[in-house]
A = this chain, B = another copy of it.
Amino acid sequence: MKKSQVSRPLGAAHTALFHQIYEALRDRIQQGELRPGDRLVEDRLAEDFGVSRNPVREAIRMLSADGLIDVNARRGVYIAVPDPAKIQELVEIRAVLEGHNARLAARRGNPKLLAAAGRILARGQAALNAEKFDSLGKLNVDFHKALARASENESLSEMLGAMRLKSSLGFAMNDPVVQAQSWQEHAGILQAILDGEEDTAETLSRSHVLRAGDRARERLEAAAPPKS
């Protein structure tokens, strides 16, 4: 679910406020500026954005439908705090879909789109060698986006994007260490796709997601051990 909710006829004036607010909030969540459990107060947001409460409310409904925030009737809205089990479910589903996506990409074998993915891969490896971990998070997202495009299945791309966003609530996807480890697997996936090895591409891609999930969970548990 990108910015596609409201079609913007290109030159057509300003986009509606509720839409701008929706994107702004979503970006803040993705950026980690708003963290799980944080409260969103309509009045505050309205004032911050310099608008009335209505556009804010409509943006909140959209975020709610996306599953990014939890709305407790009459008690306030909060950035969703996903329980680990749900996150694990999401990761498993993502693994299946990313695997399928890799298979499709291998089947299509679109040289242009794959070259684009290759360039991002190179940039990522360069960043890794230069130990510029902070830029790795965005590159990781870009790489997966490029792969998603390479499958030439737009719906699948959108779904994967939405799912990545949602899982990013569960754990810091942009944790440098996790990124660095997982990055190395990207090369293998892309190679399999380039070779047209559908099965290999799917398997590698699937396990890549699962492993990344495991690593993130480990670090999460290490940081905040179960209070049992």
Contacts and interface: CB of A to CB of B under 8 A. Distances in A.
Work out how many copies of this chain go into the complex: 2
Interface string A87-102: 0011011001100100
Interface residues of A, number: 40
A153 interface: yes
A15 interface: yes
Interface in A39-97: 54, 57-59, 61-62, 64-67, 70-74, 86, 89-90, 92-93, 96-97
A65 B5 CA distance: 6
Interface of A (DSSP majority class): helix
A197 B109 CA distance: 33
Contacts of A92: 153
Contact of A156 (B16, B65, B93, B100): B93
Interface of A: 1, 5-9, 12-13, 15-16, 18-19, 54, 57-59, 61-62, 64-67, 70-74, 86, 89-90, 92-93, 96-97, 100, 153-156, 159
